[in-house]
Structure 1
Amino acid sequence: MSKKKLILITMLAMLMVFAVTAISMAANVSEASQTCISCHKSLGATKNVIHDWKDSKHSEVGVSCYECHEAKPSDKDAFKHNGYTIATIVSPKDCGSCHSDAVEQHNNSLHAKGYDFTKKSGLYKYIGEASKISGCRTCHGSKVKVLENGKLDPSTWPNNGIGRVNPDGSKGSCSACHTSHKFSVAEARKPEACGQCHLGPDHPQKEIYEESKHGAIYAMEGDEWNWDDPAGEWNTEDFRAPTCATCHMSEIGDAKLTHNVSARLSWELERPLSVKTKQWKKKRSKMKSVCTECHSQQWTDNHYDRLDQVVNTYNNKFYKPYKKKYEQAKKDGVLTPGGFNDELDWKFFEFWHHEGRRARMGAAMGGPDYVHWHGFYELAEDVQIMDRLLKEAYENAEH
């Protein structure tokens, strides 16, 4: 056979494969979704959405545009679009029609309370709406409001916050971790997914992870690991060091697969004063079973002993004594009532919300620089500054 004929036959075979694949995809996609795809293609609208979807697991099983965006006429955010009733927002309630366990687990997690936490902050009075909308609630989630004209209020949408309150009442946004329209499990398993929000001076889990031995191994070798195994099958044969998802969510050791990222946490490290979580012993046991897939029992037990020492040192040496001084100054009337009125109010907030968290979170995740220099060192420095501010406040009150 001549070389030209061989090349021609090969090209024809490839065309047949592409044709069969296209026919198979078309047969796998509902008529309504095919209408969406063909129309968006012809108009050149949201082209990348189609490209992402074609690369997704959803496309392989025939889950497409209409299956996710279909809405009832009674839905608050429903609207008519080219003969179909749809909604812009795909909420956890929608995803739960297929992924019910994941949604139920998420609903029991601290992630689902993300928006609620933002309502408690006294900072908003001072930082303004723009910062709240484009800052805090981008990660924590907004309460999406549908305007009278059917459009979504720009102060609440777009938003992919993990605790977003949707028009259907559900809480969360699955695309916060599995970004649309690929919805990749591999993507959500990588620390960059979590690092979109878990970073910065007040919750620097991203930076702590990068400093840790786990993060260093990931940075050097992560591109060689297997990220695509189905949920429940991804284990230590696929990677050499854990990511956020490994420890907090994956089915490793005795810990079962979960979308409740709080299920293995034994301390509340984000609070002003750390306390043990409910059923903390059971939760710690689950997390330890993850650790011992790679580490010895002694290594694991000693790590938690060190964590407890750090938390107790923060609580008893730093937070409790200064909280007592701070409250006494308020009672004595030397500070303005309320919060964030005096310089001391701001410094005390940073004392626990920034430095205190960094020390505790650094100990939990193996980040020594965040325990010491960004943590306890700055806590000690804060005490010196706050003592000076307290002294000035009492002196000013006498005049």
Structure 2
Amino acid sequence: MNPSSTLSLLRGICAAALLATATSGGPAAAESWPTVPDELFAALGLERDVPANVLYDAVAARFHDQDQGYGKGKFADLWEPIAISRYFDPGLYEGRDNLDFEVQAGECASCHESVTPGWVHSWDNSVHADLDAIRALPEDDSRAYKKEHLAEVEANLRSMGLLAEGQPLATVGCADCHLGVNVKAGNHKTDLRLPDAAACGQCHVRQFSERESERDTITWPQDQWPAGRPSHALSLQANYETAIWAGMTQREVAEGCTMCHTTQATCNQCHTRHEFSAAQARKPEVCSNCHNGVDHNEFENYMLSRHGIIYQANGDKWDWDKPLSEAFASAGYNAPTCQTCHMGLHGQPTHNLVQKVRWGFAPMRSIADNLDHPFFAERRELWVATCSQCHSPSFANAWLDSMDKGTEQGLRVVEQGNAELKAMYDEGILIGQVTNRPAPPKPDEDAPGGFFGLFWTEGNNPTAIEYRNAQMWEQQLMRQFKGLAHANPGGFTYTHGWSELIGSVAIIRDEATRLREFRELQAKVRELENAADR
């Protein structure tokens, strides 16, 4: 038997053993899930050998805890949801009066085929619609691994008392998600829910726990960011507790931010309803909906990198139905994707995407000066291991050196611009600073080049030069970093990044010189006027 056949046989034996364990009637135990980090169990006060229902209850309770990131946040009294908000954050959802009637679990699709046929077709194409089709897959089918996942889901539900011993799960229908697992009937107005991440987590306990463990695996050593952030698990809190987001009156515009930050609330941002295709979720385009644009252009940089070029040239030959763990082993990938780099740790896929984060979402001096701290050094080694799936460790280290130093070089330019602007502000010489500078909306406070200036304007606040400065630190520096991190040469040299930063600091310096010369000219005019009066 050749090595490849032996490896396939061993994988089959292991999968069969796991499947037998999961279907043998024993409770699902979290200790069999190494991708759920120890930090989560410690934070929740649990042992690793707790059954799935105990783990789920603890994770879901924290997920719904308003003291730990759930709800409208610390500025709740400053804003009210608009109609569309309830569809982005299920916690804000309220049933409509015209839907006050009783429904039966099996009736949803027959009605919605004529009302909203699009999502019915999506659900028909999903794994949820026919779980027996998964059970019938031959072992050489790329999707055969889903049998093990299905057995895990059934074991989870049995541990919760939601699935009888020996009873297979035949389908995941509308009511299971929108009323509750195995709920047979309810009122369309008062009982219907928009599923949040905890609803998905009831079946997918491991994946939900992985995602929620982001809160526990990123605690910055010099408090560069709040604990657990930036992350998908607390992204909505970060949105709601941004001062200008809460304070601005243009709520329809503000909800554009929520559309991406809803990753805390739902799984739908990556696993598009109602098909929830894992194959689709493995493709870079899924990430592009949020990870694009002026302040985090990861998708553009990836697609213009050599990695993205190979994906665009060869991706149609890769087997997207295979699990991410098989990407380079047997699925045919010969370049990384967003998912292979950011959803992998120690060779295993995970929904915790922050265990390798080093620079966060804003390069800052307190990070640049502490990259030799164990927190950052250990994460760098994880990146070397990730890159070494395709590159030599020496190449990976060389590129990471370039990325870190190039990011710090951009940071220096931003600091020059910040210092020049602060000096102008302290001198009181910004356009209209004394005569026409209203304060930003509460809870924000006035500051030179503040983030609020990208979303609000009144009088001469912000001035044009402050807007340019905010673009520097919030957008251009990020493009410098993202271009380096994703190896797109134009992304950090000419097109974006460095050249933009140079241009911005030049404009700020010119404005500083102009305003100071104008101040001196005004002083000279006053001096001459006073002399004439004498």
The equivalent residue for 1:333 is 428
Aligned length: 328
Q: Percent identity over the alignment? A: 29
Q: Deviations over 1:157-194 (max 9, x none)?
A: xxxx32xxxxxxxx322110110001011111111100
In structure 2, the gaps of 5 or more residues are 1-102, 132-170, 215-230, 434-445, 454-460, 523-534
Aligned counterpart in structure 2 of residue 86 of structure 1, from 192, 207, 227: 192
Q: Is the 8 A contact 1:269 1:360 kept in 2?
A: no
Distance in 1 separating the partners of 2:330 and 2:381:
22
- 8 Å CA contact 2:325–2:347 kept in 1: the answer is no
1:22-171 alignment runs, 5 A limit? 32-41=104-113, 44-61=114-131, 62-70=171-179, 80-81=187-188, 85-87=191-193, 89-109=194-214, 110-118=231-239, 119-120=241-242, 122=244, 128-133=250-255, 135-140=256-261, 161-162=262-263, 171=264
Return the alpha-carbon distance in structure 2 between the equivalents of residues 270 and 102 of structure 1: 28
* Matches for 1:170-319 after TM superposition, within 5 Å: 171-230=264-323, 232-238=325-331, 239-250=333-344, 254-271=346-363, 273=365, 275=367, 279-315=375-411, 317-319=412-414
- Distance in 2 (CA, whole Å) between partners of 1:55 and 1:85 is 26
Task: Tell me the distance in 2 between the aligned counterparts of 1:204 and 1:257.
Answer: 24
- CA–CA separation in structure 1 for the residues paired with 2:340 and 2:274: 23
Given that residues 314 and 356 in structure 1 are in contact (C-alpha distance below 8 angstroms), is that contact kept between their aligned partners in structure 2?
Answer: yes
Deviation at 1:46, TM superposition (A): 1.7
CA distance in 1: counterparts of 2:197 and 2:403, whole angstroms = 35
Contact 2:123-2:275 within 8 A present in 1 as well: yes
> What are the superposed Cα offsets for residues 354-379 of structure 1, whole Å, 9 maximum, x if unpaired?
21111111111101101101110111
Amino acid at match of 2:192: I
Give the aligned residue type for 1:86: L
Q: In the alignment, is the contact (CA less than 8 A) between 1:236 and 1:293 conserved in 2?
A: no
Bigger relative contact order (CA 8 A; separation at least 6)? 2
Tell me, yes or no, if structure 1 residue 377 matches structure 2 residue 499: yes
Distance 1:48 1:236, change over 3 A: same
The secondary structure found in structure 1 opposite 2:362 is coil
- One-letter amino acid matched to 2:123: W
Q: Secondary structure at the match of 1:112?
A: coil
Take 1:381 and 1:321, find their aligned partners in 2: how far apart are those partners?
A: 12
CA deviation map 1:319-378 (0-9, x unaligned): 223322222322222233534321221011111222111111111110110110111011
TM-score, normalised to structure 2, is 0.57
Structure 1 counterpart of 2:482, from 361, 369, 388: 361
Checking the alignment, whether the CA contact within 8 Å between 2:420 and 2:508 is kept in structure 1 is no
- Could you tell me how far 1:132 is from its partner in structure 2? 1.3
Residue pair 1:111, 1:172 contacting (<8 A) in 2 also: no
The residue number in structure 2 matching 1:27 is none
* Structure 1 residue 47: Cα displacement: 1.4
Distance (whole Å) between structure 2 residues aligned to residue 278 and residue 348 of structure 1? 33
Given the superposition, is the C-alpha separation of residues 283 and 236 from structure 1 closer, same or farther in structure 2, using an over 3 Å criterion? farther
Q: TM-score, normalised by structure 1?
A: 0.75
**CA contact under 8 A between 1:186 and 1:228: conserved in structure 2?**
yes
One-letter code aligned to 2:118 = N
Q: Are the equivalent residues in 1 in contact too, given 2:248–2:254 (CA < 8 A)? A: no
Structure 2 Cα separation of the partners of residues 233 and 60 of structure 1: 25
